[in-house]
Amino acid sequence: LAKTTQPISMDSYEGQEVNITCSHNNIATNDYITWYQQFPSQGPRFIIQGYKTKVTNEVASLFIPADRKSSTLSLPRVSLSDTAVYYCLVGDIGAYNTDKLIFGTGTRLQVFP
Amino acid sequence: DAGVIQSPRHEVTEMGQEVTLRCKPISGHNSLFWYRQTMMRGLELLIYFNNNVPIDDSGMPEDRFSAKMPNASFSTLKIQPSEPRDSAVYFCASSLMDSPLHFGNGTRLTVT
């Protein structure tokens, strides 16, 4: 059973880089690491997904060390609109094991002007 | 791509009434998920369908809750009878194979 641990909250200022770390000590070989963002009154939205090393897209970067027991979501130069809850999800969505579709408590990021 | 569509957006009902929430997944997606979100319990997975077949409903709170997926483009979550503790935001999500989940904007249910 993959389980994730994230900080409950983080504060930042506009223009800064924000790094949110997720611990997943029991990650399985076939598991991917996926991050979602949720704004109030909306459903979670996919940000980035990775398996190992580094993944980068137009929104964020995801750093995964060799042992894969943790991952770090990096948001470059945050703005006020990045204020949201960020969830780390670990699992193989292709498998039937729904234990791996469990969202944790997430990290509430507050960006200040 | 219209995304996952849920209806209604808001539902207010009295205790004891039947409530039906609806979801239209993204066309072509073969997996559908119902989640419930509250401040106390966060996002909880209620049930998961794959190719219209319920795979795991262990998250359904009790027999008052039922979900169906009669075809690939429609699913319902029904609560009967509803209770105040069922008040929450209910999300539907869909995916294709091992792609990430795509969520709808949810139905905010209030049971008085």
Mean pLDDT by 10 residues, chain B (112 residues): 92 97 96 94 92 92 94 97 97 88 96 98
CA distance A70 to chain B (A): 19
The answer to whether the Cβ–Cβ distance between A101 and B33 falls below 8 Å is yes
For tokens 């709170």, name the residue.
Answer: B61
CB-CB neighbors (< 8 A) of B93 in chain A: 43
Annotate A66-95 with DSSP letters as a single string.
TT-SEEEEEESS--GGG-EEEEEEEE-TTS
The answer to whether the Cβ–Cβ distance between B59 and A98 falls below 8 Å is yes
The answer to whether the Cβ–Cβ distance between A106 and B50 falls below 8 Å is no
User: Phi and psi for A81 in degrees, rounded to 5?
Assistant: -70, -5
Could you give the CA distance from residue B34 to residue B64 in angstroms, rounded to a whole number? 15
CB-CB neighbors (< 8 A) of B60 in chain A: none
Q: Is B45 exposed, middle or buried (0-12, 13-18, 19+ CB in 10 A)?
A: buried
Nearest Cα residue in chain A from B108: A41
The answer to whether the Cβ–Cβ distance between B48 and A102 falls below 8 Å is no
Q: CA B84, B102, B45, B79 torsion: positive or negative?
A: positive
Can you give the pLDDT of all 113 residues of chain A as single tens digits? 458 999 999 999 999 999 999 999 989 898 889 999 999 989 999 999 999 999 999 999 999 999 999 999 999 999 999 999 999 998 876 666 666 688 888 999 999 99
Q: Is A103 exposed, middle or buried (0-12, 13-18, 19+ CB in 10 A)?
A: buried
Contact B107, B89 (CB under 8 A): yes
Structure tokens at A63: 């750093």
Nearest Cα residue in chain B from A101: B45
The answer to whether the Cβ–Cβ distance between A43 and B98 falls below 8 Å is no
